[in-house]
């Protein structure tokens, strides 16, 4: 599928604000790809497709997971759309957008929660999703935007710190252990480089 076909389809399925966000992530991912000498086209495509399942309802996401044998954790069930759209999106990108690059699909899969030891494209999409220009103001966003172009691992760590603080403020200690594991991983590797 070419970019015109992808953007036409995204425009018809996503709300305008979500579509604008997807384009912002695509351009931000392309900029990060230039900075870190990654394939710009691949990063742009992953950014454009990262929220391709975001317009699905909770019920549609759960049904899709069941039909496609996508694992749904107890944490996924507590925040269905926030967490499952990335898992579903990685499969939907293949089936509906003819995405054949497994790295793109993996970046879509991990853009919401991230994981420890992400590859460069996964980090680019994880960070681009957080820092893109239309993102509502978040604590330390300007600092994280600057860091993203200086040291992507430190930017990932700062995003985790900000996300965990936010989640603790609304959910107390009910945070997916995978998020904590990834935070610890990036905390450890950034401490080793400083």
d(CA 103, CA 40): 13
Domains and CATH numbers, the chain: 3-136 (1.10.3210.10)
CB contact at 8 A, 85 and 111: no
Q: What is the pLDDT of residues 8-33, one digit of tens each?
A: 999 999 999 999 999 999 999 999 99
Which phi and psi angles does 76 have, rounded to 5°?
Answer: -60, -40
pLDDT confidence tier of residue 172, bands split at 50, 70 and 90: low
pLDDT confidence tier of residue 139, bands split at 50, 70 and 90: confident
Contacts of 102 (CB under 8 A, 6+ apart): none
- How confident is the model at residue 29, as a pLDDT? 98
What percentage of the chain exceeds 90 in pLDDT? 81
Both tokens of residue 180? 């904590």
Helix residue ranges per DSSP H, the chain: 3-13, 16-35, 40-49, 58-67, 74-78, 80-97, 102-110, 120-131, 141-148, 152-171, 177-193
The single-letter DSSP state of residue 143 is H
Buried b (16+ CB within 10 A) or exposed e, 123-162: bbbbbbbbbbeebeeeeebeebbebbeeebbbbbbbbbbb
CB contact at 8 A, 59 and 155: no
Assessment of whether the complete model's pTM goes beyond 0.85: yes
Q: How much is the mean pLDDT over the chain?
A: 94
Better-predicted residue by pLDDT, 194 or 1 = 1
Q: What is the pLDDT of residues 30-85, one digit of tens each?
A: 999 999 999 999 999 999 999 999 999 999 999 999 999 999 999 899 889 999 99
């Amino acid at each position: 599928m070419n970019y015109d076909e992808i953007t036409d389809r995204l425009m018809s399925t996503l709300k305008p604000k979500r579509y604008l966000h997807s384009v912002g992530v695509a351009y931000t991912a392309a900029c990060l790809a230039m900075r870190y000498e990654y394939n710009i086209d691949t990063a742009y495509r992953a950014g454009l497709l990262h929220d391709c399942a975001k317009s699905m309802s909770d019920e549609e996401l759960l049904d899709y997971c069941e039909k496609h044998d996508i694992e749904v954790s107890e944490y996924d069930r507590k925040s269905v759309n926030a967490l499952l759209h990335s898992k579903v999106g990685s499969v939907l990108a293949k089936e509906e957008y003819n995405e054949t690059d497994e790295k793109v699909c993996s970046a879509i899969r991990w853009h919401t929660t991230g994981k420890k030891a992400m590859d460069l494209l996964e980090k680019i999409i994880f960070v681009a999703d957080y820092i893109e220009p239309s993102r509502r103001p978040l604590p330390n966003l300007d600092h994280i935007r600057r860091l993203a172009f200086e040291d992507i691992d430190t930017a990932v760590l700062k995003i985790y710190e900000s996300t965990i603080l936010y989640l603790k403020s609304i959910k107390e200690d009910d945070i997916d252990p995978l998020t904590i594991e990834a935070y610890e991983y990036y905390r450890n590797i950034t401490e080793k480089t400083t």
